[in-house]
Amino acid sequence: MRKLLLVVAGLALLVGAVGGYAVTRVYERAAEPYRGYRDAEVFVDIASGTSTVSIGRQLVEAGVVADQRTFRIALWRSGSERLLQAGEYRFAESVSALDVIDVLARGQVHLRTVTFAEGLTRWEMAEVFGRSEFGDADAFLAASGRVDLIEDVDSAAVDLEGYLFPETYALPRGATADDLVEAMLAQFRRTFDDALLAQAAEQEMTVRQVVTLASLIQRETGQDDERPIVSAVYRNRLDRRMPLQCDPTVIYALLLDGLYDGNLTRDNLRHDSPYNTYVYPGLPPGPIAAPGAADLRAALAPADVSYVYFVSRNDGSHVFADTLREHNRNVREYQVEYFRRRRGR
C-alpha cells in the first residue's frame, strides 16, 4: 500500500509539473514572435461589434496568432479585452500575440494613401480619387460641391475649387469621398492659418481673392523663387487696371464649358466667360486650381518689383519685363525664335 501511495504521489507530482510547464509554456508563447502565413502580408478586417472570441478566431485563421489558447493568454496578460478596436489591420512580419493585441487596442488600423499634386482642378482630383482604392470619381465630384463646409470662410463659393488642399492623405479603407474632402478642407484651414488671415485682412483681400490669385500663380510657375515675382506681376496689373491675360484662366473657362481640347488658340482668347482674364478685367470669379502653401504665401507677399509682363523660357522658368517693348523682344527670343529653331532641326 505504501509503495502504491508513493507511486500515486509521484504521478501526481509529475502531472502537476507537466501541467505547470504547459501553462508556463503557453504563457511564454504569448510573448514570442509568430508568423503563420506565407504571403508577404496579410490583412485582418475586424467588423464593429465583433466578440473577442471571434477576433481571436480571425487572427488564428489569418496566421497572425498561433492558436486560440495563446490569444486568450495574451489577452489576459494585456488586460485589454475591452479595448480591442474594429478596423482593417495589416501584418507583414513576425509579431507576438501580445504585440498583436497592443496594435488592436491602440486602433492602429492600416491606412491607405491618396496623393493630390498641386495645381489640380477638382475634376482632375476626382480622376485621381477614382483610380485609388477609395471610390469613384462621381462620388468625389459630388463631395467637392459641399459649399456648406467652407461657407464660414467663403460665403460666395459655388464649389470647393481651390480649397481642396493638395497633399498626401492616409485614410482607412472604409473612408468615403466626404471623409477625404473634410480632411482636405481641414488641411487647408491649417495652412491658411491666423497669420495669413491677418495678412489678408491688412491688405483688404478676402480669402477667396487670395486663393484665386494663388491658383493663378500655381498654374503659371512651378519655381519657388518665381512665385513672389508672378504674384507681383498680377498685383501690379490689378493696380494699373490692366487685364491679367492669364492663359490658365482661359483654359479653365473652356473646361467649364466643355470646349477645351488640349490646345489654346487665338480664338480661345476671345471666349466669353467671366473666367477669361483676356476678356474680363480683374481676378476671375474664383480659384481655377488647388494652390499649395507656397502659392498662398506668395499671393500675400509679392516681390518688390515693377514687372507687368512675363513669358516662358520653355525650360520651366520665365523672363520678366517692365515694358511692352521689352516683353515683345522676349517673346520673339523665347517663343518665336525658339520654336523656329526647333522646327529647323
Mean pLDDT for each 10-residue chunk of the chain (345 residues)?
A: 51 46 66 92 92 94 93 90 90 93 92 94 96 90 96 95 97 90 97 97 97 98 96 97 96 94 91 96 97 98 97 93 96 86 71
Q: 25-105: which CATH architecture?
A: 2-Layer Sandwich (3.30)
Dist. CA 249–CA 233, nearest whole Å: 15
Can you tell me the distance from the alpha carbon of 220 to that of 318, in angstroms, rounded to the nearest whole number? 9
pLDDT of residue 194: 96
For the chain, domain boundaries = 25-105, 111-191, 194-307
Tell if the pTM clears 0.85, that is, is over it. Answer: no
Would you tell me how many other CB atoms lie within 10 Å of the CB of residue 33?
10
CA 139 to CA 175: how far, in whole Å?
Answer: 12
The residue with cell 461657407 is 151
What pLDDT is attached to residue 28?
82
Alpha helices in the chain (DSSP H): 2-29, 52-61, 68-78, 97-105, 122-131, 137-143, 177-191, 194-202, 207-220, 227-239, 247-256, 293-300, 324-331, 337-343
The answer to whether the CB of 75 falls within 8 A of the CB of 59 is: no
Cβ 217 vs Cβ 299: under 8 Å: yes
pLDDT for position 26: 61
pLDDT for 224 = 95
CA 44 to chain centre: 25
Residue 311's H or E segment, with its range, is strand 309-312
- What is the pLDDT, as a whole number, of residue 133? 83
Cell of 317: 522658368
In Å, how far are 314, 336, 339 from 342, measured between CA atoms? 12, 10, 5
Q: Residue 90 — φ and ψ, nearest 5°?
A: -115, 135
Q: How confident is the model at residue 340, as a pLDDT?
A: 80
According to DSSP, the β-strands at 42-46 and 318-321 are unpaired
